[in-house]
Amino acid sequence: MTQQQGLFLTLEGIDGAGKSSHIEALEALFKAQGRVVTRTREPGGTPLAETLRTMILTQAMDPLTESLLVFAARRDHIVQVIEPALARGEVVLCDRFTDATFAYQGAGRGFDNAVLSTLEQWVQARDGALLQPALTLWFDLPPETAAERLAGARLPDKFESQPVEFFRRVAEGYAARAAAAPRFVRIDANRSREQVWAQVEAALVQRGLVGGVKP
């Protein structure tokens, strides 16, 4: 049997957009197709990167420091987890990746996109190209609605406690990334959970990443 090709898939969106609630179902969908799945997240996914995540999400820091820590965590995650899993032919489902850096540090905090692009080149260089997801599911939700969903849900972290204007900028950042890269699929997250999942499933079927309707 020939080994299957690795597949790198990411989920993105502002806090409260509901992306995380679909990761489990995605994992089950790919497993039902006989695929081995590595489910992971950023910042994080390795012991070192999880340590960096705690720092990033709990401490105030200037945006360059924050970007360097995010990319340091990413480098460790790529080397230790993502690349090996892809080389084994697995499906890597990652809750956030570099698009979040352009959206949060770039658009949200107003940090220089050119510096972020340079860091992206350094960290994601792969055989003369750039490691990028094959598909990015972008859960798009108005920032006001996301804020309502988050309100009272739990103790907010550093980003979740930002005002709605911050998330308006982050949402614009995602929209700009999506407009520039065909790997993005916009999911209208302002729908019921079932309707959102139906869009996710349809996007995967349409791109030939999972089989169509079962007989």
Residues at the contact surface with ligand TYD, assessed by CB under 6 A: 15, 20, 42-43, 57, 70, 95-96, 100-101, 104-105, 159
Which residues in the chain belong to E strands, given as ranges?
7-13, 37-41, 91-95, 125-126, 129-130, 135-140, 184-188
Q: How far is the CB of 182 from ligand TYD (least distance, A)?
A: 21
Closer to ligand TYD by CB, 159 or 197: give it: 159
Q: How far is the CB of 93 from ligand TYD (least distance, A)?
A: 13
Q: How far is the CB of 211 from ligand TYD (least distance, A)?
A: 29
Closer to ligand TYD by CB, 37 or 70: give it: 70
Closer to ligand TYD by CB, 57 or 202: give it: 57
Closer to ligand TYD by CB, 7 or 49: give it: 49
Which residues in 68-183 belong to E strands, given as ranges?
91-95, 125-126, 129-130, 135-140
Q: How far is the CB of 184 from ligand TYD (least distance, A)?
A: 16
Ramachandran sector of residue 96 (left: φ over 0; alpha: ψ -120 to 50; beta: rest): left
Closer to ligand TYD by CB, 85 or 116: give it: 116
Q: How far is the CB of 208 from ligand TYD (least distance, A)?
A: 27
Scan for tokens 């890269």, then name that residue: 181
